[in-house]
Structure 1
Amino acid sequence: MDDLELHRPLIGQQGSRAALNTPVLVLDVEAMERNIAKMAALAAGRSVALRPHAKTHKSVDIAHRQIAAGAVGVCCAKIGEAEVMVDGGVGGVLVTSPVAAPAAIVRLAALAARAKGLMAVVDHPDVARAIDAALGEVGATLDVLIDVDPGIRRTGVASVEAAVALAETIAGCAQLRLRGVQFYCGVQQHLEGYQQRAAAITERTNYLRGVIAALKASGFSCPIISGGGTGTHHIDMTLGVFTELQVGSYVLMDRQYLDCALTPDDPAPFEVALAVDSRVVSANHDALVTIDAGFKSLSTDGGAASVRDGAAAGAAFAFMGDEHAALIAPGIGTALRPGDRVTLTVPHCDPTVNLYDHYHVVRGGTLVDIWPVSARGRAR
């Protein structure tokens, strides 16, 4: 049985979260709404636009709530995610990874022909020309940003000179319109100390200023300067270079960001809205119990999950295979019995969400709705 068959009858029943089959992805909608409102207010106070990254939540429902709170659109990492958002009525989509494969370029052109406010990044002249040709075939135009490498050598032009050369190529493409630059410092987002992170971002932002200055000196304006993230949002707003922020994880939060001091005065300004509910399936040892959430239920790239409720907060978490994990603490095998519910804070929200078909939306202890993870698996 799928989520809807299992859990639709529980919607609206008082305390129905306790009856959910586990493991299950749970979304505290009130915490999420407060996160959305708080980030929107911070951005408005700094006159910075928000284009939140939908690769975090992959949800049309959440994207619409972010836009209703003032966001100018959403970001998508892949063309498949963008197609889902556009088909769900979400406007202002920016594809933040270069679209380079021939089949993907055809899809991008088709999407540009029907999507309001679509943008994409480019980082190579050959790709810019290929996209331009595909757009010409369908009679569409596309706004583009130059993706600037912040130093991690993943994507983006590798120098100031390359940025100017690419801008010149784009200027020669009839179907493309250059709107600015993208600059995402992914490595720096998770530097745990605020001062260390601020120093690193300040240095990288100075490089970005040089790119922007060179483009302007060559006659290319940059009305959109897009980038940043949850880990650096406070620093980015203070430095005042970005016109819009691509914050993502703030809406859900995870253990990786809880380990970071996000602002100098408040290390954790956003609430954890995402959880995985699990259950004890074996309790035959004094210091260890086994739960039903393993590799298939939680991302592994961000380390271990942490206990939020239902067991001792200091219990250690250890994966024990595809289906299981252990919680380890003195006396835990006596304190918990098979069937007991344990709520986990996930290590990394983006890939964890991608493991599930639905969010189980709760208010307090009551299931109030079930939302699809709309763009789950749209990696191409």
Structure 2
Amino acid sequence: MRRDEIKTPALILDLDHLDRNIEIMTAWAKSAGVALRPHAKSHKSPDIARRLLKAGALGACCATIAEAEALAAAGITGLHITSPMTTTDMLARLHRLLARGADIMVVADDPRNVDALGKIALEAGRKLPVIVEIDVGTKRTGCVEIGDAVALAKSIAQNKALAFAGVQAYWGHLQQLMPFDERKARVALNMERMRKLIAALEGAGLPPRIITGSGTGTHWLDAQHEVFTELQAGSFVFLDSCYGPLPLSPDGNPFTTSLFVAAGVVTANRPDSVTVNAGFKALATDSGTPQPVRGIAQGASYRFMGDEHGVIDFDPGAPRPELGAVIELVTSHCDPTVNLHARYVVVRGDEVVDEWPILARGY
């Protein structure tokens, strides 16, 4: 089957571009002397996680317990859940993962969570590695003060079922900050805070073995400071339209788009627009509109028109897409777009070569 014959809407994954992005990132990380534990919240796929492991990744980060369950069931090792596990449901599911032998570590940012984590680890007969997270300006999760983080690390180290493994910091609010020099300066400020935290932990006799964080937008900048032992960047595998034009280093952006949403033309009775069958249910809406890139003339633009539909506008006189034609769009935010689909249609060039299930959706 050709890629313009597939059932729409569909999530298309270009294998050549995916493999190239993985090769570029893993080669760069090796040369920079930093490990990779890429975030699976972007792809939610054991197939992609295996490709990353084969290329040299340590494992995979997970934002939810559901992601960890799906990847562990597929045999993925080196899992790190980057969000606190606090509710009764989360803890019960984490206990089951530990009891089944999953290779996993978690984060904490509150001393009230320590006993609960220790209890499930003890019941599972496991020593659970715990990473202390510190807030670095996002005001989302993490210890607010360095002293709080040190106290939490001590509490973890004193629990016989837990092991203090290190620290986590993620400045998500800086990932797409422009101009580049402003992003660079803000990263440097946060790195100073990280150095103070590390020094405080060392002074308390708790040197962190793992220092984890970062993302696609700051991975190059973060590595220059030689603080992180591993990076969590994830969106580089796909490169959505927000990351696409973003300079990631002084040399620009080496990655290329591998993820597309295919939409079929369902109405073509207007001279300067067509309606396609991809709307809110097929495309993320939080970071702007997707960009039409294939099957239509350059310069076309997309408008959301409801749950199942979108309108693509083009200049008068531009080649007109036929009724039933397939138009491909680059999503503005890859992570939540992937979460809307059940599978990847995997292509090489114009040919469909496979389908990969997206098993780690939901919560």
Taking the aligned partners of 2:298 and 2:186, their CA distance within structure 1 comes to 33
1:81 counterpart = 2:73? no
Q: Is the 8 A contact 2:14 2:258 kept in 1?
A: yes
Taking the aligned partners of 1:332 and 1:323, their CA distance within structure 2 comes to 27
Taking the aligned partners of 2:172 and 2:13, their CA distance within structure 1 comes to 25
The residue type paired with residue 283 of structure 1 is: A
The residue type paired with residue 312 of structure 2 is: L
Taking the aligned partners of 2:181 and 2:101, their CA distance within structure 1 comes to 41
Q: Is the 8 A contact 1:226 1:245 kept in 2?
A: yes
**How big is the alpha-carbon RMSD for the aligned residues of Structure 1 and Structure 2?**
1.2
Structure-2 change in CA distance of 1:252 and 1:332 (3 Å): farther
- Show the counterpart of 1:359: 344
The residue type paired with residue 185 of structure 1 is: W
> What is the deviation of 1:117?
3.1
1:269 counterpart = 2:254? yes
- Show the counterpart of 2:160: 174
> What is the deviation of 1:324?
0.8
Q: Is the 8 A contact 1:179 1:221 kept in 2?
A: no
- Show the counterpart of 1:96: 82
SS in structure 1 at match of 2:201: helix
With normalisation by structure 1, the TM-score equals 0.93
Taking the aligned partners of 2:146 and 2:317, their CA distance within structure 1 comes to 57
> What is the deviation of 1:326?
0.9
The residue type paired with residue 290 of structure 2 is: A
Taking the aligned partners of 1:295 and 1:362, their CA distance within structure 2 comes to 24
SS in structure 2 at match of 1:258: coil
Taking the aligned partners of 1:67 and 1:115, their CA distance within structure 2 comes to 19
Q: Which runs of 5+ in 2 are unaligned?
A: none
Q: Among 193, 197, 201, which residue is 1:207 paired with?
A: 193
The residue type paired with residue 372 of structure 1 is: P
The residue type paired with residue 339 of structure 1 is: G
1:40 counterpart = 2:26? yes
Q: 1:237-316 to 2 correspondence within 5 Å? A: 237-266=223-252, 268-316=253-301
SS in structure 1 at match of 2:16: helix
The residue type paired with residue 166 of structure 2 is: G
Q: Among 330, 338, 344, which residue is 1:345 paired with?
A: 330
With normalisation by structure 2, the TM-score equals 0.97
- Show the counterpart of 2:95: 109
Q: Is the 8 A contact 1:52 1:245 kept in 2?
A: yes
Q: Is the 8 A contact 2:4 2:325 kept in 1?
A: no
Taking the aligned partners of 1:119 and 1:64, their CA distance within structure 2 comes to 19
- Show the counterpart of 2:212: 226
Q: Is the 8 A contact 1:53 1:76 kept in 2?
A: yes
Q: Is the 8 A contact 2:53 2:59 kept in 1?
A: yes
Q: Is the 8 A contact 1:314 1:329 kept in 2?
A: yes
> What is the deviation of 1:334?
6.1
Q: Is the 8 A contact 2:296 2:319 kept in 1?
A: no
Instruction: Provide the identity percentage.
Output: 44
> What is the deviation of 1:346?
0.7
- Show the counterpart of 2:115: 129
User: Relative to structure 2, which stretch is displaced further, 312-321 or 20-29?
Assistant: 312-321
User: Relative to structure 2, which stretch is displaced further, 189-198 or 92-101?
Assistant: 189-198
Q: Is the 8 A contact 1:307 1:315 kept in 2?
A: yes
1:322 counterpart = 2:288? no
